[in-house]
Every structure is written in C-alpha cells, then in structure tokens.
Chain A
C-alpha cells in the first residue's frame, strides 16, 4: 500500500510516519487473522449432533431405502431443536436429508435414528422404550451415560465435550466411527 501522506514519503521516517505505519501494519495483520468465536452452547451441541449423524453407521434395516432421511427426535430440548433444525436445513449426510421431530413422549421415539433426551424425567422411560433398537441416544451429563444412554454431553471447562458408551451403542447395532471416539472425554466399553 502506498502511503500518500506527504509526511510519510519514503525516506521520511518521523514519529508520526512511523506510528501510522505501525498502526496500518497492525491493522492489516489483524484483519488477516480475525475470526470472532462466540457460539452458543446450543449451537455447539447441535453441531455435535450433526457430526454424530455423520459418523454413526446404522444397520441397513433402520432405513426404508438408501435415500431415506435421518430422523432426529428431541424430547424436551426446544432451544437445541430450534438450533439444529435451523442449521441443518439443506444439509445431508451420505445422501440422506434430515427430518427433525419434537417428541412429546418416549413412545414416539421409535421411528427416529437419533434421539436427544433433554427432559431428565423422560430418560429412563426413553431408554426403556428404545433398548436394543438402532437409535443413537444422546442426553445430558455423565449420568445419562451411566443410566444406559450412549452419548452424554458435559461442559468441560469452557468447552462442550461428551462421554461415549460404545457398549450401549453396539448393543443397539450402531457402529460409532473412531473419529467420535477420539474426541470423547471418556469412552466406555471401547
């Protein structure tokens, strides 16, 4: 960039000139590296759900055909459901679109491929209804996994992490990719 200010012509290195050069250079460098990070917790969790769909393998019988959508159900997690639905629009995994369902009762979760249990009161009932069925069960906290869930989100410092129970996933004929395993804070049954 050519500096047109007369006081900053080449060879005239006064204080004013040097300050301007310093500020301009700093601004340019900062512009290059500027990436503001400021996501909501729901946003991060929703993106994790998207990735879980991407890196989980369901048995062929879980889908009607090769193009059938991945059905994601939410029990009592409105904010997360909104974030997921809004951001997943137009996206697909392995050629499958997404269908988002808000579920009133665990019984309605049987036709889903992923169920997020945001209502603690429904945890045990949901786990009972879906036991052995090829549904990826995601919930909140370590307690969700110890209760029989497959993935439990936890807040690890300033970041969102999760515990993973491969044994529970395997019992439901789900194969979770090693990429997910590598990121999990704790892996059970691996």
Chain B
C-alpha cells in the first residue's frame, strides 16, 4: 500500500546542463586536486615493496602474528585485508556484536559512520547513508548471498530486523557497489553472513526487555552440525517488540500514542545445507508490525503491515582446476512487501516473485592478478490485489526482466594494487546502463591510502517503473569519488579517514502531483543531487580496554530539489554530523562492560504545522551492556537509550508524514548458552 499521497511542493528547478570534469560541477576543485595528488603518490610510491608470503609469517613473533590482518572479499576478487580492499569497507564480527549488546542489525549499523535511520510511509523505518535516503533501493542488504531488498521499490525495513545472535559477520561497502552487486547498491552494500556449520554445536538466547511498563521478548536458537561431507546450519529467532512508546504528531497536529499501536512480530529462520561444494540456503523472514499512521495521518484502528520473504538459493562452487572456479547460482524469492490489512482502509496484498540465475567465474591468472567474469538474468513479477477503496481497484500482474554482465580485474604490483570493474545491465523498463569502477590502493607497514572512482545506478523497482509518470523512467546514475588514508600510530592505536564526493544524476523521485498537471508517480528529477563529506574512525585496542570513536559529515552540494531539500547544506532527515563511540572494559576474565552510542546533529524534517522543514533536536543515544561469561553461559544486562532521549526517524522527502518517534529507555537481559 506504499503509494505516496499528494503533497504540495514547488516546481523542480531545471537541469543546468554544463558539465566539467575538474573544478566544475562533476566534482569540486579541491576534491579533484586531492584525487590527482593521491593518484600521483600511488603511482610513484615505490619501489622495493616486499610482499611477505605466508612463509614470512613463520618468522613473526606471536605478538606480531596476532596483529596480522585477515581478509575480506566484499569489494575484491580474492580476499584481501580491509585496508587493502578496493573500497571503503567496515567489518564487524560476531564477537564485537555480542560485546556491544546489539539486538539486531540496526544496532550494529548505527555504530558505523554515515548511517542514520529514517522513515518512509506506514511507519517503516529504513536507512539514510551519507545524507541520502537509502531505504528505497540504494542500500543493498545481502544475507548469506541472497538479496533481501524487496523488488517493488527496493525497500529495506531495518528496525528490529536480522537478529544479532544469528550474525557471524557484517561486511559493509560504505560507498557504491553497483559494478559488483548491481542496481540496488547505489549508496552502500551490507553483507551479512550468518553463523554457519563451522563447528558442531549451537546456541540458545533469550532476551526479555522492559520499556516503560511493557515487556517484550526475543528468542534465538541456532544449531550447526557437520558429518563427513555434509554441513547443516540453522539460525532462528522470534522477536516480539514494538516501534515506539512515544507520541507521534502529524503535520496536521493530530497526536497518536504509539505504545499499543506499533507492535512488531519478527521471525527469522535461516537454514543452510551443504554437501562438498554445493550450498543450499533457505531463509524465511517474516517482518510484521502494527501501524496506525496512514500516510502521515493517525488512524483510529491500527492496520497490519508485513514484509514477508521466503528466499532460497542453490549454488555450486565448481573448482575446475587450481586456478579457475565457476559458481552457478539459482535464487528464488517470494515476497509480500508492503502488504496491509486494515479494517478502516481495506486490505492490499501484493505478491512478488523473483527467479534469478547467475554464473560467476574467477580465474587466478597469477599470484598477483585475477579476473572475475559473470552474468546474471533475473525475472521479477508481482501480483496485486487492491482494496475496493483504491482507485483502479482490481487485480494486476506485472513482470520485469533484467540481464547483466560484469567483469573485474584485480592486479597487485609492487607499486600499487589496481582493481578495475565494469557492469552492463539491461532492464526492460529502463534500458541499458553501464557502470565502471577503478580503485588504486597501497598499504605500507603503518600507512595505507586508497583512491576510488566508481559509478553506480539504481534500477527502479517493479512499482517504480509501473508508476512512472508518462510511462517513462530511466535508471538513476551515481558518480562517486573517494579517498581513504589510514595510519597505525602503534600496535594499539589506528586511525582511518576517508573523503567522498557523490553526484546523483536523474534521481528517481516521487511526484506528489502538487507541482503541476502530472499524475502521482515516479519520474527522473531534472536536476541532480550531490554531496561531499568525510568519515573517520580512531581505534584503541588494548588487552583490557578497546575503544572506537568515529565521526561522519556530509554537506549537500547540489541540493535544489525541494522535495528532499532541508536547507542549503542538508538533505531532509539525515544528520550532517554523526559521532559514534564504543568502549569495552574487560574488567576481569569473565566480566566485561561496553558503553556505546552515537550523537546526531540537528536534522531537518517536516513537523507540525508542516509549512516548512524545522530542526529536530540533537540526539545523544547511549547504550550500556554488562556481560558475565562462565563456561558456556553468558549473562548480559543492557540498557539501550540510557538517557531516555527522544529518538526520531524522519521522512527524507516532503511526503506528508511527521517524524516517527522511536523507543525510549529500554532495559534488557540477555541469557545465552552455547552447546
């Protein structure tokens, strides 16, 4: 039922047209110079770099060995250390997730620079990244190799989604990933790997929570097993929570106490079965909640909104010889996104399916170079049943075909590592789109630097294409420049920082119709959005204490689209400044205490009386988690939002909804046992 209603707005400004490469509208002059300088440094950085082969590891002391980084392959063909990844990459492990007392993926992402929460309609809480809304098809979530974003709009509900106890590792490309991951990765890629059959055993977790007179419950159970060539892993959880215990105020001034009208019921079952190189994955993700905000206005009776998904994948890692591996993968998805059952407004059901077949091949050309080639075909379809009250009531079926080819070449030289990738994707609604990317990285003993250029695109979801004004819409195109540098001051202290500049051409926007004669629907903005900024993290890792302090900043550059404009330098809903922090004190062997949280600067959002965007107060959210571990048992006591601050998820466009309040102080206990 996600159909935005009319909302008055000014006419869109016209496209300015002229483009210059450096110092002009493609990127600011200072950024261009910085990129060129970094490229020069990388190209000339010589010369006698000594690549330590694994044999060199045997000459390291134990202490040195404990500091050697292992690798990720989220942005590279072969696994590489994070500081050498051809992308701005964050990795959060299960141990870190447990240490901070995270309950779900959103708790983890809020400690990553650049991310913030926003809302769409029907109280759905999603993500912004680097100032721009990511919920509608721009932040790609992959769980165990399967894309989770729904296929109507690309939406990604994040609140209380993906249980923390099931997560083995979260890898994030903080930046576009379209060349590798396709048209839903315009801003970022979040890849979750759940706990797998690495050992025989399992876990059971019980997490009761208390918020202002209400108790909620969370249960998790996992089992891993292996016998001979067979592997089996099961992760399951059920969460009974709610969105908020605070009051919502509409732009008309009507208030709604959400305490009993925003219950969430989230079930997650992930089953992995493996036999040698064959991997079968089945995921049942039932995301349901009550909602009493109908496109900004409170309703008398809560409706039931659901984002149910059944995801299945079969893949086979076929190693033809010691340098060539071919992996065919078939994925099938059934989703019921944005489904609503409302006594007041009628029911709206849509059932979406995706068949996807992908072949990925990786060839190790030498120990310094590798190439990846792949092709993917996918068919999306959706069957809709509209309520009688809805204009154009009736059943409707739409389909969409998409075919893509991609390639990447990674080369490590003693001067610099180069990663170059391209992707061509042909979508039957928007035609073909070609995106290249290139990354230069160099890591020395203590210092590393990266210079990245990438293009990305957003393939419109089924309903975005269906609701295109005039029946025509193009893919949204993003150009990104990034620079990263990092330095290890000592074995315990490291610092990393990156600059970014991104420009979104032809942004896909929803026209509420208030500006002209057009009907409601999606269209390509006739101007651009762009932003630049930085993200930085300082880490301290000692035996008893570890701390992280991060900061992120964005400044809107091209920001003339009133629909998403906050003020000259800010987009709606997204804080320009964000500080994250986390500190763990391992008090004694079984006892540790973590204090983490984030601070958001003032955000702009439409609030009552709705005539303009107003500033929301800053937010300082502090979470505390005390854990005592003995043998296979763990007892945790946590307080989320310790200061009982007002938290808001604001709408990142002028869509007629006030900010959705989130929960206040929440006390929870986590009891877990491994077996």
A95 at the interface (CB under 8 A from B): no
Assess A121 versus B228: contact at CB under 8 Å? Given A35-B49, A36-B443, A157-B93.
yes
Q: Using CB atoms, name the residue of chain A closest to B447.
A: A33
Q: Could you tell me if A158 and B69 are in contact, using CB atoms closer than 8 angstroms?
A: yes
Docked CA distance A120–B202 (Å): 12
Q: Could you tell me if B201 and A159 are in contact, using CB atoms closer than 8 angstroms?
A: no
Taken residue by residue from 45 to 62, chain B's Cβ proximity to chain A (1 for < 8 Å, 0 otherwise) reads as: 111111110110110101
Partner of A38, one of B84, B200, B225: B84
Q: Could you tell me if B199 and A159 are in contact, using CB atoms closer than 8 angstroms?
A: no
Taken residue by residue from 5 to 33, chain A's Cβ proximity to chain B (1 for < 8 Å, 0 otherwise) reads as: 00000000000000000010011101101
Partner of B200, one of A50, A124, A190: A124
Chain A nearest CB, measured from B531 CB (Å): 28
Of the listed stretches A65-73, A106-114, A142-150, name the one at the interface; the rest are far from the partner chain: A142-150
B275 at the interface (CB under 8 A from A): no
Chain B nearest CB, measured from A16 CB (Å): 14
Q: Could you tell me if B226 and A119 are in contact, using CB atoms closer than 8 angstroms?
A: yes
Partner of B55, one of A31, A48, A87, A183: A87
Chain A nearest CB, measured from B182 CB (Å): 26
Docked CA distance A42–B79 (Å): 12
B residues less than 8 Å from A46 (CB atoms): 54, 57-58
Q: Using CB atoms, name the residue of chain B closest to A156.
A: B95
Docked CA distance A16–B187 (Å): 40
B contacts with A, residue count (CB < 8 A): 58
Assess A47 versus B57: contact at CB under 8 Å? Given A30-B46, A31-B47, A39-B70.
yes
A residues less than 8 Å from B44 (CB atoms): 23, 26-27
Q: Could you tell me if A186 and B589 are in contact, using CB atoms closer than 8 angstroms?
A: yes
Q: Could you tell me if B80 and A38 are in contact, using CB atoms closer than 8 angstroms?
A: yes
Q: Could you tell me if A139 and B71 are in contact, using CB atoms closer than 8 angstroms?
A: no
Docked CA distance A28–B424 (Å): 41
Assess A34 versus B95: contact at CB under 8 Å? Given A23-B40, A143-B674, A179-B62.
no
B301 at the interface (CB under 8 A from A): no
B632 at the interface (CB under 8 A from A): yes
Docked CA distance A104–B169 (Å): 31
A41 at the interface (CB under 8 A from B): yes
Q: Could you tell me if A155 and B41 are in contact, using CB atoms closer than 8 angstroms?
A: no
Q: Could you tell me if A43 and B226 are in contact, using CB atoms closer than 8 angstroms?
A: no
Taken residue by residue from 74 to 108, chain A's Cβ proximity to chain B (1 for < 8 Å, 0 otherwise) reads as: 00000000010011100100000000000000000
Chain A nearest CB, measured from B99 CB (Å): 10
Docked CA distance A157–B60 (Å): 20
Docked CA distance A154–B98 (Å): 14
B631 at the interface (CB under 8 A from A): yes
Q: Could you tell me if A31 and B48 are in contact, using CB atoms closer than 8 angstroms?
A: yes
Docked CA distance A140–B17 (Å): 58
A residues less than 8 Å from B95 (CB atoms): 154-157, 185
Interface residues of B in 210-260 (CB under 8 A from A): 224-228
Docked CA distance A72–B618 (Å): 58
Residues of chain B at the chain A interface (Cβ within 8 Å)? 40-41, 44-52, 54-55, 57-58, 60, 62-63, 65-72, 79-82, 84, 91, 93, 95-96, 169, 197-201, 224-228, 412, 414, 443-447, 543, 589, 631-632, 674
With A30-B45, A47-B65, A143-B199 known, 19 other A-B pairs at CB within 8 A are: A27-B46, A30-B46, A34-B45, A35-B49, A36-B412, A41-B71, A46-B58, A51-B62, A91-B58, A120-B199, A146-B674, A147-B200, A158-B70, A159-B68, A160-B66, A160-B68, A179-B62, A183-B62, A186-B589
Residues of chain A at the chain B interface (Cβ within 8 Å)? 23, 26-28, 30-31, 33-44, 46-48, 50-51, 55, 83, 86-88, 91, 119-121, 123-124, 139-144, 146-147, 154-161, 179-180, 182-183, 185-188, 190
Q: List 8 A-B contacts (CB under 8 A).
A: A36-B412, A36-B414, A41-B79, A47-B58, A124-B200, A147-B200, A182-B62, A183-B66
